[in-house]
Amino acid sequence: MARQKGIIKLKGTIGDISFYKSKDGYLAREKGGVDGDRIKNDPAFARTRENGSEFGRAGKAGKLIRTAIRPLLLQTRDSKVASRLTQLLMKVIQSDADSARGYRTVEGGDLELIQGFDFNADGRLQATLYAPYGVTIDRAAGTATVDLEKFVPTDSLAYPQGATHMKLVAAIAEVDFEADEFTFNSNSTAEVEITDVSQGPYNLALNFSANSEENLMVVFGIDFYQSVNGELYAMKNGGYNCLAVVAIDQFAGADV
C-alpha cells in the first residue's frame, strides 16, 4: 500500500488502484486477489472455503454475545472487542472434535474457553479488582449469584485517577447460538464511594429460565464515576470500566 500525499485526498477506485481512508490516513493500493467465483468452486480452495465458513460462524456468535450483554457493554470502550472475541470463538469452534472441518460449530466446541474474556482490553477485571468474589449457578432453580466479600475500595481497587465512586455490575445471558437467540438479566449495586472504609459484602442475584436448556454466561464488572458538584459522571466514556466473562455453564445436551 502507499500513502496519499497532496492537498486533495481520493476515495474510490481508478483503474486498478483503490483509494481509501484508514486509521493510518489516506492510502492507496493496487487491486488484486483471486477471483471470487474461483474461491467458491475451485477444489484447490476447499480449505479456504472451510475456514471462511467457520470464521463466519465465529463472527456471528461473537455478535450474538455482544448483543446479549449490550446494556453493560455500552459502559465499556474497546474498538477491537469484536475481533478479539471472534478470534477466541474460532478456538472454541476448532475444539469441536465431532464435526468435519468446515462444519464445526461454537455449540459443538468447548465454550469454557471464553471464560475470563475481558470486553475491555485496557480495563481487565483481574487487574482492577483484588478482592475475592465467587459465582454460583443453579440451572434447575434458574438463579445465579455473584458474591463479593467485604473489601476496602482504596486497597482492593486499581481505580483511575480522578474516580470517586464505583458500581459493581453483573448479568447472565442464556445464549442459543444455533437459533441466534438470547435472554438477558442484570443486576448492580448503587454507586459506592471509593474510600478507605470497608464496603460490602455484596450479593448480585440474577434470574433466568428454570431448567434452561441453553448455554449460560455470567459477566461481572466495575463502572467508575467522578463526582463533580454532587453529580456523578462516567470516567472517560467507559474507557476504564471492566467487564469480563466470569462463568460459563454449557448446556449438557449440547454436542461436546
pLDDT band at 45 (very low <50, low <70, confident <90, very high): very low
Give every CB contact of residue 56 below 8 A, 6+ residues apart in sequence.
Answer: none
Counting every residue written for the chain, the total comes to: 256
pLDDT band at 3 (very low <50, low <70, confident <90, very high): low
Give every CB contact of residue 194 below 8 A, 6+ residues apart in sequence.
Answer: 153, 154, 157, 159, 163, 164, 165, 166
Please tell me which residue, 14 or 59, carries the higher pLDDT value.
59
pLDDT band at 208 (very low <50, low <70, confident <90, very high): very high
Residue 143 has a pLDDT of: 98
Please tell me which residue, 108 or 24, carries the higher pLDDT value.
108
Q: How many helices (H) and strands (E) does the chain have?
A: 5, 13
Statement: residue 38 has pLDDT above 60: no
Burial of 119 (0-12, 13-18, 19+ CB in 10 A): buried
- Cell of residue 42, nine digits: 475451485
> What whole-number distance in Å separates Cα of residue 185 and Cα of residue 204?
11
pLDDT digits (tens, 9 = 90+) for 110-152: 999 999 999 999 999 999 999 999 999 999 999 999 999 999 9
pLDDT band at 88 (very low <50, low <70, confident <90, very high): very high
User: What share of the chain in percent tops pLDDT 90?
Assistant: 69
Beta bridge partners of 14: 17
> What whole-number distance in Å separates Cα of residue 53 and Cα of residue 102?
6
Residue 52 has a pLDDT of: 74
This prediction has a pTM of 0.81
Statement: residue 219 has pLDDT above 50: yes
Residue 21 has a pLDDT of: 73
> What whole-number distance in Å separates Cα of residue 206 and Cα of residue 212?
14
- The residue among 133, 159, 143 whose CA lies nearest residue 236 is 159
Q: At what angle do helices 46-68 and 81-94 cross, to 10 degrees?
A: 120
Stated as kind and residue range, the H or E segment containing 152 is none
Q: Which of 32-46, 110-124, 193-207 has the lowest mean pLDDT?
A: 32-46
Give every CB contact of residue 180 below 8 A, 6+ residues apart in sequence.
Answer: 60, 64
Statement: residue 46 has pLDDT above 80: no
> What whole-number distance in Å separates Cα of residue 43 and Cα of residue 107?
28
- Cell of residue 1, nine digits: 500500500
Please tell me which residue, 46 or 200, carries the higher pLDDT value.
200
Q: How far is CA 254 from the centre of its chain?
A: 22
Residue 255 has a pLDDT of: 47
Rg (CA), the chain: 22
Statement: residue 43 has pLDDT above 70: no
